[in-house]
Amino acid sequence: MTDTVLATASITGLFEQARAASVPLATATRAAKDAALEAIAQGIVAAEERIVLANDLDLANGRENGLSAALQDRLRLDGARLASLAEAVREIAALPDPVGEVVRGGTLPNGVTTAQVRVPFGVVGAIYEARPNVTIDIAALALKSGNASLLRGGSAAENTNRELVAVIQDALESTGLPRFAVQTIDDYGREGARQLMRARGYVDVLVPRGSAQLIQTVVTESTVPVIETGAGVVHILLDASADAAMAADIVHNAKVQRPSVCNAVETLLVHEAAADRVLPQVLQRLRESGVTLHADEATRAVFPDALPATDEDWATEYLSLDLAVKVVSGLDEAIDHIRRYSTHHTESIVTADLANAERFLAEVDSAVVMVNASTRFTDGGEFGFGAEVGISTQKLHARGPMGLPELTSTKWVVRGSGQVRG
């Protein structure tokens, strides 16, 4: 047999193990799942040394292969980040178990009772790149929601992910849950990813996380249902009434606090009536933090140090200390610009005008819309979900930060006492 045929046969074996593991997981008690999550959290901390060594190897390989600074930041794990991951797992354990929750139902006139209840999907697949935290996040969320998981974390984090999955599997086994409820297919490279996208019948839903190119590839090539997480061309609008100090704080936080993530602001829109008043303070603070500004002519008239913007800048997710800046004539032009260039992730307005705030919230069609707040709050942890599966920018099933309920489907449970339909 060819290597491809052998690889396909081996991968199919992993898929079958995941499907088998999903059966006992679907009926596992909350206590059993929470005990496994606690064992995972303890295992992460106990294995810090070997995880960091594996991560150092991935980082060295990444630098040698020209991995971008943004992806290196996402790839990097240290003691503090591992402690945060362990705490995130414990936060998931503390959340209510969604499995069995009654969504709606009632009693029919003939005495038959109906209940729509949450149930696990079964097997959740994930394809992502240079994000070892996603290995922990998705595995833990899948476990808590009663799902097995198959993970393709990419070559950039292969050594780190191997160690993390080993920790998870040991924790599962130590608490009596199936070891193969969490598996990585990284050893099979791109062929593994290709097979995962075509594993209909084994995998119930697939979640891509990463670059726009990766997400689009999964969406277009997968025969497994996909929950689309989107790139983040994120906007902040400074309205005519925006307070300059508030605007400076919000924009600085949204761009500088962690520029390599999808909820960092990438385009700043400024009402022309506020440009002279707010732009100098906002942009000077950004420049002092090393942000490169790509600005239109109106902005450069106020702040000449900015680079000239091109049409490409308005559609760019920089994931770096770069920001596109444009002066707009008003709310209409701002909303039109967002409709044209947004990836429907997160948008925010800074304003003291209640009517403009409500109009922005109503007319901007993104997964998360905000008033007077940093876009960095678009996050499952910040929203109280513990970790997150991803931030969905589609409209079916899930939208915005995805937590435990978004990893469940429902089924109808009907109980009767001999009724027949007339």
| pLDDT tens for each residue of 16-34 | 999 999 999 999 999 999 9
Question: For residue 189, which of 383, 67, 8, 354 has the smallest C-alpha distance?
Answer: 8
Give the whole-angstrom CA distance, residue 59 versus residue 88: 23
Mean pLDDT score across all residues of the chain: 94
What is the pLDDT, as a whole number, of residue 315? 95
**What percentage of the chain reaches a pLDDT higher than 90?**
84
Q: Which CATH class is domain 3-96+119-229?
A: alpha beta
Cβ(83)–Cβ(333) below 8 Å = no
Q: Is the pLDDT of residue 71 over 90?
A: no
Give the whole-angstrom CA distance, residue 152 versus residue 341: 30
What is the pLDDT, as a whole number, of residue 381? 82
For residues 212 and 185, which has the higher predicted lDDT (pLDDT)? 185
Cβ(276)–Cβ(244) below 8 Å = no
What pLDDT band is residue 74 in, cutting at 50, 70 and 90?
A: confident
pLDDT tens across 28-53, in order? Answer: 999 999 999 999 999 999 999 999 99
Topology, domain 234-377: Aldehyde Dehydrogenase; Chain A, domain 2 (3.40.309)
Question: For residue 407, which of 38, 95, 200, 118 has the smallest C-alpha distance?
Answer: 118
Q: Is the pLDDT of residue 108 over 60?
A: yes
Question: For residue 265, which of 276, 254, 273 has the smallest C-alpha distance?
Answer: 254
What pLDDT band is residue 398 in, cutting at 50, 70 and 90?
A: confident
**Mean pLDDT for the stretch of residues 71-86:** 93
Range of weakest confidence among 96-100, 165-169, 225-229, 287-291 = 225-229
Domain ranges of the chain: 3-96+119-229, 234-377
What pLDDT band is residue 1 in, cutting at 50, 70 and 90?
A: very low
**Mean pLDDT for the stretch of residues 227-234:** 86
Q: Is the pLDDT of residue 5 over 70?
A: no
**Mean pLDDT for the stretch of residues 84-105:** 95
What is the pLDDT, as a whole number, of residue 3? 52
pLDDT tens across 301-347, in order? Answer: 999 999 999 999 999 999 899 999 999 999 999 999 999 999 999 99
**Mean pLDDT for the stretch of residues 383-412:** 88
What pLDDT band is residue 359 in, cutting at 50, 70 and 90?
A: very high
Give the whole-angstrom CA distance, residue 39 versus residue 24: 18
Give the whole-angstrom CA distance, residue 132 versus residue 76: 8
Give the whole-angstrom CA distance, residue 238 versus residue 145: 40
Which residues 6+ apart lie within 8 Å of 80 measured at CB? Answer: none
What is the pLDDT, as a whole number, of residue 9? 66
What are the tokens at 77?
A: 């794990």
Q: How would you label 334-359 residue by residue, b for 16+ Cβ within 10 Å and e otherwise?
A: bbebbeebbbbbbbbbbbeeeebbeb
210 backbone φψ class: left, alpha, beta (φ>0; ψ -120 to 50): left
**Mean pLDDT for the stretch of residues 161-183:** 97
CA of 295: how far to CAs of 220, 288, 310, 336, in Å? Answer: 34, 17, 8, 18
Which residues 6+ apart lie within 8 Å of 355 measured at CB? Answer: none
pLDDT tens across 241-266, in order? Answer: 999 999 999 999 999 999 988 999 99
Q: Is the pLDDT of residue 140 over 80?
A: yes
**Mean pLDDT for the stretch of residues 95-123:** 97
Q: Is the pLDDT of residue 7 over 90?
A: no
